[in-house]
Amino acid sequence: MIENTAPRAPYNLTAQATKNSISVKWIPGFIKPRLEYSVWYRAVDLPEWRTLKIRARDSSEAVISNLSPGREYELMVLSQDQHGDGMFSKAIKVVTKSGNHVDAEHFRSPAGSFVQIGKATISEVRLEPEGFMVLWDAPEVNPHMVKEYTLKWYEDYDDNLVGSFITRNQFYTIPFSYLQEGQTYYFQVTTVSSNDFETNSIKLEYRAPSAKTRRALGVSLAVGVAVFILISVGVCYVKNNKMKGKAAANEK
């Protein structure tokens, strides 16, 4: 069988910058099995490129961290198949926000740009039918200043970012396919304030259960729901009989 579809690199790159990070999204090009992505980036005044490998194969977004404020970066996305054949997207340039950047919303307050924000606290990783739900508590210091959260997970405690998602909620559900069975991951939540100040939570270690364990938990949950329904039906039945008995007694 001959494929007539022409290969295409990732395209339509969009980016959003803070002081120390850049969030980039893209549209996948030609879809192949086992397609992997990596983000190549560099400061425009330096010749050396760095790479951020995206471990979740069906992800089309990434967060590049530990960047310098007020600096221009060039980045592009590489897609590769299992044979190592790949194509680069067109490069885009993004400038991180400077350290003295003040949003118009906070310009009315002279001290606004100096107000910091506390750290989020990861409270739980819960198995749900759709995937792994990570929940966290809002910062105790200035929680009203939270603009968004970035949930990240690593294969190593200090490095090797696997994936990330941006949300305004205090939870996010990671699909099962994004985490490898039996692999230990380290979750971290970055809180971004309305004046683009960032804080990182303490990392939480989590070992992804096997599919067998997930199925067993699913069966237990289903049994629990069934038992609850049976108990509820039984209680309603007893109450209904009592009411009928009282009605019959009143008629006599």
Same domain, 196 and 226: no
Cβ neighbours, 10 Å, residue 202: 12
Predicted pLDDT at 161: 83
Predicted pLDDT at 244: 64
Same domain, 156 and 77: no
Whether residue 106 lies inside any domain: the answer is no
Predicted pLDDT at 173: 94
Residues 80, 51: contact at Cβ < 8 Å? no
Same domain, 228 and 189: no
Same domain, 53 and 19: yes
Q: What is the chain's pLDDT, residue by residue, as a tens digit (252 residues)? A: 444 555 678 888 999 999 899 999 998 876 666 778 889 999 999 888 898 888 776 778 899 988 999 999 999 998 887 777 788 899 999 999 986 544 433 433 343 444 578 899 999 999 988 899 999 999 998 899 999 999 999 988 877 788 888 899 999 999 998 898 889 999 999 998 887 788 889 999 999 987 765 555 555 555 566 667 777 776 676 677 776 666 666 665
Residue 37: burial class (beta carbons within 10 Å; 0-12, 13-18, 19+) = buried
CATH number reported for the structural domain that contains residue 68 in this entry:
2.60.40.10
Token pair for residue 54? 């995206």
Beta-carbon contacts of 166 under 8 Å, excluding residues fewer than 6 positions away, are 23, 61, 63, 148, 149, 150, 151
Same domain, 84 and 70: yes
Whether residue 125 lies inside any domain: the answer is yes
Predicted pLDDT at 110: 40
Residue 131: burial class (beta carbons within 10 Å; 0-12, 13-18, 19+) = middle
Whether residue 126 lies inside any domain: the answer is yes
Whether residue 102 lies inside any domain: the answer is no
Same domain, 21 and 90: yes
Same domain, 233 and 180: no
Whether residue 100 lies inside any domain: the answer is no
Predicted pLDDT at 106: 40
Whether residue 151 lies inside any domain: the answer is yes
Same domain, 239 and 202: no
Task: Supply the range of the domain harboring residue 195.
Answer: 117-209
Same domain, 131 and 205: yes
Residue 235 CA, chain-centre distance (Å), reads 42
Same domain, 185 and 196: yes
Sheet hosting strand 61-64, strand order edge to edge: 11-17, 22-27, 61-64
Beta-carbon contacts of 81 under 8 Å, excluding residues fewer than 6 positions away, are 32, 33, 34, 35, 36
For the chain, how many structural domains are there in total?
A: 3
Same domain, 29 and 62: yes
Conformation bin of residue 6: beta by default, left when phi > 0, alpha when psi is -120 to 50: beta
Same domain, 127 and 202: yes
Whether residue 104 lies inside any domain: the answer is no
Predicted pLDDT at 48: 87
Whether residue 109 lies inside any domain: the answer is no
